[in-house]
Amino acid sequence: EAGVVQSPRYKIIEKKQPVAFWCNPISGHNTLYWYRQNLGQGPELLIRYENEEAVDDSQLPKDRFSAERLKGVDSTLKIQPAELGDSAVYLCASSLRTSGAYEQYFGPGTRLTVT
Amino acid sequence: ELKVEQNPLFLSMQEGKNYTIYCNYSTTSDRLYWYRQDPGKSLESLFVLLSNGAVKQEGRLMASLDTKARLSTLHITAAVHDLSATYFCAVGKGTSGSRLTFGEGTQLTVNP
């Protein structure tokens, strides 16, 4: 079974430029998450989708970040314009509720460097 | 606001030794997850703990959860070099614990 797929794996951009990340979750997983992981820290949730509905986006900086999951499968996270502080690894995860818990499976991440 | 604290943050140990990583959290939850992350890699799920007193073991790792003390432990038995990685605990809140708050991680180095 294929895992969570993300692209690109690495991205270097200049500040003020836009950038987009793509995620394809594990087949059949209806819950999708985007996290940001700064160096030396744990991941922080940006947004969670249940199917195509964003059910938790309280941590998403909405002035410059946007996300979509149009058909309830793959998802795109966009930053426009990027700032130096956005340099981080952006992780996508998906889960399927089983036995009363959401065990999340993470993709390889996109390492963003803003110069 | 939920806070999750791990200690130690850095752990260097010799092969064959035992040690415990602690994860304390500030608000009530009965969903606790442990993940492993190798350098430059993504997170790998190790354990899902769903109730007070839950204990799970896989190889040289054993995780437990005490919801009353708001404490989870990850015990390493007879460490080997392959266990070197960063270990994160995460506390689940919201619908079935789907909203995870991660600790800072414990960077484990096992020396030959």
Average pLDDT (A62-72) is 92
A98: pLDDT confidence band, cut at 50, 70 and 90?
A: low
- pLDDT at A83 (0 to 100): 97
Q: How far apart are the first and last CA of chain A?
A: 37
Task: Assign B19 to helix, strand or coil.
Answer: strand
**Substitution target from B35, B89, B98 for chain A, most A beta carbons within 10 A:** B98
Q: Which residues contact B70 (CB under 8 A, 6 or more apart)?
A: B24, B25, B26, B27, B28, B29
Q: Region B30-59: what's the mean pLDDT?
A: 91
Top-level class of domain B1-35+61-91+104-112 = mainly beta
Spatial CA neighbour of A32 closest among A8, A68, A78? A68
Going by pLDDT thresholds of 50, 70 and 90, the confidence category of residue A100 is low
Measure the CA–CA gap between B92 and A84, rounded to whole angstroms: 30
Each domain of chain B, given as residue ranges in start order, spans 1-35+61-91+104-112
pLDDT level of residue B96 (50, 70, 90 thresholds): low
State which residue of chain B sits closest to A109, comparing Cα positions: B42
What's the confidence (pLDDT) of residue A34? 97
* A44 shares contact with chain B (CB less than 8 Å): yes
Compare A97 and A92 and report the one with higher pLDDT: A92
* Residue of B51 and B83 predicted with greater confidence: B83
Instruction: Identify which of B42, B98, B102 has the shortest CB distance to residue A48.
Output: B98
Mean pLDDT of B57-71: 95
Instruction: Compute the distance between CA of residue B73 and CA of residue A16 in angstroms, rounded to an integer.
Output: 43
For residue B78, pLDDT over 60 is answered with yes
Class assignment of domain A5-97? Answer: mainly beta
Q: What percent of chain B is modeled with pLDDT above 70?
A: 97
From A29-43, A92-106, B2-16, B19-33, the region with the lowest mean pLDDT: A92-106
Q: In sequence order, which residues have a C-beta less than 8 Å from that of residue B1 and are 6 or more positions away?
A: B26
CB pairs < 8 Å spanning A and B: 60
Q: How far apart are CA B17 and CA A63, in angstroms?
A: 50
CA–CA dist B102, B72 (Å, integer): 13
Indicate the domain borders of chain A: 5-97
Inter-chain touch A102–B105, beta carbons under 8 Å = no
Q: What is the pLDDT at residue A106? A: 95
The shortest CB-CB distance from B96 to any of A42, A43, A97 is to: A97
Q: What percent of chain A has pLDDT over 70?
A: 95
